[in-house]
Amino acid sequence: MSGRSRWYFAAATASVLLLAGCVTKPPAPVAKVPSPPPAPREFRAVWVATVANIDWPSKPGLSTAQQHAEIIAILDRARELRLNAVIFQVRPAADALYASSLEPWSEYLTGTQGGSPGYDPLAVWVVEAHRRGLELHAWFNPYRARHHEAKSPFAPNHLAKTNPGSVKKYGDLWWMDPGDAIASGRTLAVVADVVSRYDIDGVHIDDYFYPYPSAVPRPRGSDVKEMLDFPDEPSWKEYRKGGGKLARADWRRQNVDQLVERIYGTIHALKPWVKFGISPFGLGRPDRRPPGIEGFSQYDQLYANVERWVEQGWFDYLTPQLYWPVAGKAQAFGVLLDYWARQNTMKRHLWPGLFTSKIGDETKDPKAWAPAEIMQQIAVTRANPAAGGHVHFSLVALLQDRRGIATQLRAIYAQPALVPATPWLGTAAPAAPKLQREADGRIRIIPAAKGEAATNFAVWRKQDDAWNFSVQPASEPMVVPADAEALSVSAVDRLGNESPAASLWLIAPKPKLKPKP
């Protein structure tokens, strides 16, 4: 090689080495956002009773604006306490707290049965509940036709007027005859009407099947009262005339069984995602009860064969009214909860009812409870793997914050919770949402264009290695502040099915230093 050639070779080699030294190293890959813990799940609900104006409206005759303001106050309190469902009574006595062509307006709205309030209350309740991420369950009384404290006369279109043979006077009540085809057909039609026309999340019926026994005094000189039998002689004779062979008590239970089964089937034929719940009296059949449990038999007196409904799976959630203390003897909260859990072979939801309104001043009422009783009942429920939530009766105790119960509930409901999933009604989950940065720094949650619709978003924010959970209603503007290190969001549908998560670093993670050798 000549001297000139060696010079060119050396220069070229030096240039290659210099260029190699100037090449920028590729950036280190950004660490994947770690997965948050599973979203907390617990049914936390409250009954809102309209009969006798127990919870809402606070009295009849309020203006539309006043009624609406009370709705907002109630739902805001539910959201504040981190509840996730409201069970709103829409049919207290063969009447309606919604626009109905089948039954008259309830007197608890205006003071007069049939009097229009000038708007549709149920429509407002549904929209405002969903705006706050709350489920709205429509609560129906299946057979009561008139409450004993009712003030106004029957409206012309009430069933007692249009079909008087289907409604019976019983003690100080009026009651639809469960053995009468028109009466049971009306209840089924009313439920179907509401499910069809309103975007509700659940249908709920309570413990009033055949009425609780009523008594009348015997002739003078006697302190003993005589129990009234339900006056269903015409429908009973019709059943026997048609060849029916059941004993009268079994026939009555069959009447109730058929309505429960038909309601369940009708709801899911119309909208498969609408849950059906029942809140029966809390004591089971006498021949199946645990040792030591005593008291009223709904099987023999209300003709409610709840154990059969449980065996058949004719509901999506059972809310037995366990209105007795944990330390009770003849009726004990935990023992009864265990009983219903053992019956629940179909693995439907078990969410017991708590008598929260029994909280009061024990110095004035020896039977009143301290808030600690409700706290203990929630702890017992959470310790039972078969129970996934609970329902408070009723809203007024929480709104009044009796003896600080609302404050204590805030503490034990430390973070929001999703409603437990209902897999027997469907398991298809939504697709994962997308996360998009906005110009103002906030993050927009964009639902997937296809697949199951999202009802809520489960939102996790990571800060200092801790995750904070919240629920974002899908009906509201879907933006969240960029106030954390990382964000993880999944979509949740009407049945509680949850999508894969979409994750995003909001602040670039600091690289982990390698330990020194």
Q: From the CA atom positions of the chain, what is the Rg in Å?
A: 30
Distance from C-alpha of 509 to C-alpha of 486, rounded to nearest angstrom: 9
**What is each CA distance from 491 to 45, 57, 191, 276, in whole angstroms?**
21, 34, 29, 23
Nearest residue to 108 via CA among 127, 126, 124, 89: 89
Residue with tokens 């793997």: 385
Instruction: Find all residues with CB under 8 Å of 437, minimum gap 6, and list them.
Output: 443, 444, 482
- Mean pLDDT split into 10-residue runs, the chain, 517 residues: 45 41 53 94 98 98 98 98 98 98 98 98 98 98 97 98 98 97 98 98 98 78 78 98 98 98 98 98 97 97 98 98 97 98 98 98 94 98 98 97 97 97 98 93 91 95 93 86 91 98 89 62
Question: What pLDDT was estimated at residue 513?
Answer: 58
| pTM to 2 decimal places | 0.92
Question: What pLDDT was estimated at residue 3?
Answer: 46
Enumerate the domain spans of the chain: 43-422, 426-505
Max Cα separation, the chain? 142
Q: Are 177 and 238 in contact (CB under 8 A)?
A: no
Q: Which two tokens stand for residue 473?
A: 């209603």
Bridge-based pairing state of the strands 353-354 and 85-91: unpaired
Q: Are 94 and 160 in contact (CB under 8 A)?
A: yes
Distance from C-alpha of 355 to C-alpha of 374, rounded to nearest angstrom: 8
The tally of CA atoms less than 13 A away on the side-chain side of residue 356 is 29
Bridge-based pairing state of the strands 353-354 and 389-392: parallel
Question: What pLDDT was estimated at residue 512?
Answer: 62
The tally of CA atoms less than 13 A away on the side-chain side of residue 350 is 22
Question: What pLDDT was estimated at residue 13?
Answer: 45
Residue with tokens 């639809």: 176
> What is the CATH code of the structural domain delimited by 426-505?
2.60.40.10
Helix (H) or strand (E) holding 310: helix 306-312
Task: Read off the DSSP letter of residue 478.
Answer: -
DSSP SS3 for 315: coil
Question: What pLDDT was estimated at residue 148?
Answer: 95
Q: Are 413 and 81 in contact (CB under 8 A)?
A: yes
Question: What pLDDT was estimated at residue 30?
Answer: 65
Instruction: Find all residues with CB under 8 Å of 61, minimum gap 6, and list them.
Output: 110, 111
> What is the CATH code of the structural domain delimited by 43-422?
3.20.20.80
Instruction: Find all residues with CB under 8 Å of 240, minimum gap 6, and list them.
Output: none
Distance from C-alpha of 267 to C-alpha of 200, rounded to nearest angstrom: 11
Q: Which two tokens stand for residue 434?
A: 């997308």
Distance from C-alpha of 43 to C-alpha of 316, rounded to nearest angstrom: 13
DSSP SS3 for 33: coil
Q: What's the chain's length in residues?
A: 517
Before 117, cis peptide (omega within 30)?
A: no
Instruction: Find all residues with CB under 8 Å of 141, minimum gap 6, and list them.
Output: 51, 89, 91, 92, 93, 205, 206, 208
H-only helix segments in 151-210: 159-162, 181-197
Task: Read off the DSSP letter of residue 321.
Answer: B
Q: Are 504 and 486 in contact (CB under 8 A)?
A: yes
